[in-house]
Amino acid sequence: MGIPEKPESGQTRLVLDRPREDVLLVGLRGNWRIADEPIPVDAIIKEIESDPRIRILAFDTGELGEWDSSLLTFLIKTIDTGVRRGLEADRTGLPEGVGRLLSLASAVPEATDARRQEAKQPFLTRVGTQAISLAAAVGQMMEFLGEAAIAFFQLVRGRARLRRIDLMTLIQDCGADALPIVSLISVLVGLILAFVGAVQLRMFGAQIYVADLVGLGMAREMGAMMTAVIMAGRTGAAFAAQLGTMQVNEEIDALQTLGVSPMEFLVLPRMLALVLMMPFLCLYADLMGILGGGIVGVGMLGLSPLEYYHETVQAVQLMDFAAGLIKGAVFGVLIALSGCLRGMQCGRSSAAVGLATTSAVVTGIVAIVVSDAILTVIYDRLGI
């Protein structure tokens, strides 16, 4: 018996026969390629269901032509259909290459729950899971802080294993190489502060106090804050990416195998470089912001450069600069810790490096904002 399908070169591609009452012989004819129209297994299923005596599913490929993966797909579906209906698949009639590929495809069986739909967890279960994850993250953070403190004490004792050339390179990267972007952002922030203040102060004829607004704002707050945000996005992310890439390449594992502490060799130089450079960058940002405010004061408000300078000197005290520099140093510690922590926690893939970099920036900025609020309250209590 034969069931005609779409002909190709005058030949039927699929022929079903019954050499014995318990055998269904599937004859494959002609070419089986992806470019050809696929043949469903409906005809085979119909034949199996029409006669319950069928127990064996056999194949005849004597007239088979060219074939590719479309033939394998058809055979896998056919064999799976027969096995689910209790038939035995006889592969002796298949070409040797097809048989090997089918064996390879079925070498690793599908997990029993691979297609299971994940049930939605109850609300309390989700809350508990998040609480456990948060506790684990806090534990990892405290462990990292402890290791960083130990590495710092080793440095104080002169026993830390780090290279001076690495420290000098990182200082240049965190300091001199960051000056262009810090200069641009600080001047623009000073311009914005002065322009916003000028709009209001000009209504009362008090344009001269733009110098007070810009000077105090940059020295106490905006200089350190904007520099910290810039460094979190520039240097903190770079630290996380560098250490994360080392995790992927197993370089950190190699250091541990050689008996070298990654905290001393990799993390400590980065923390020192950023903490040392942040106060200088903050002071530089203060000056650039005051310069930007002076551009508005002189160019838009008709102030002379000397008037703007004298008003700034009278308004801004050394204690104001000191308050900003202390904030800058604290921000530097937090940025370095955030970047190095996320880098050391990075997984073993390129996607994990990207996640670590993003997490380092987010963690750094959140830590900056929270610490700035805390320091501001402390300054107010101390009358600074």
Per-residue model confidence as pLDDT tens digits over 355-380 = 999 999 999 999 999 999 999 999 98
Q: How far apart are CA 312 and CA 42, in angstroms?
A: 88
| pLDDT-derived band at 8, boundaries 50, 70, 90 | very low
Measured distance between the N- and C-terminal CA atoms of the chain, rounded to whole angstroms: 100
β-bridge mates for residue 17, sequence order: 25
Three-state DSSP at 347 gives coil
Question: Tokens 């089918």 sit at which residue?
Answer: 102
| pLDDT-derived band at 88, boundaries 50, 70, 90 | confident
Q: How far apart are CA 291 and CA 199, in angstroms?
A: 19
Domain topology for 14-105: Transcription Regulator spoIIAA (3.30.750)
Q: How far apart are CA 129 and CA 140, in angstroms?
A: 17
pLDDT in tens, 249-308: 888 888 888 888 888 888 999 999 999 999 999 999 999 999 999 898 888 887 888 988
Enumerate the domain spans of the chain.
14-105, 133-382
| pLDDT-derived band at 109, boundaries 50, 70, 90 | low
| pLDDT-derived band at 111, boundaries 50, 70, 90 | low
Are 54 and 20 a contacting pair, CB within 8 Å? no
| pLDDT-derived band at 110, boundaries 50, 70, 90 | low
pLDDT over 90, % of the chain: 32
Are 18 and 49 a contacting pair, CB within 8 Å? no
| Stronger pLDDT, 161 or 376, i.e. the higher one | 376
Average pLDDT for residues 11-30, to the nearest whole number?
80
| pLDDT-derived band at 7, boundaries 50, 70, 90 | very low
Which pLDDT does position 336 carry in this prediction? Answer: 92
| pLDDT-derived band at 4, boundaries 50, 70, 90 | very low
Average pLDDT for residues 310-318, to the nearest whole number?
89
73 φ, ψ to 5°? -60, -45
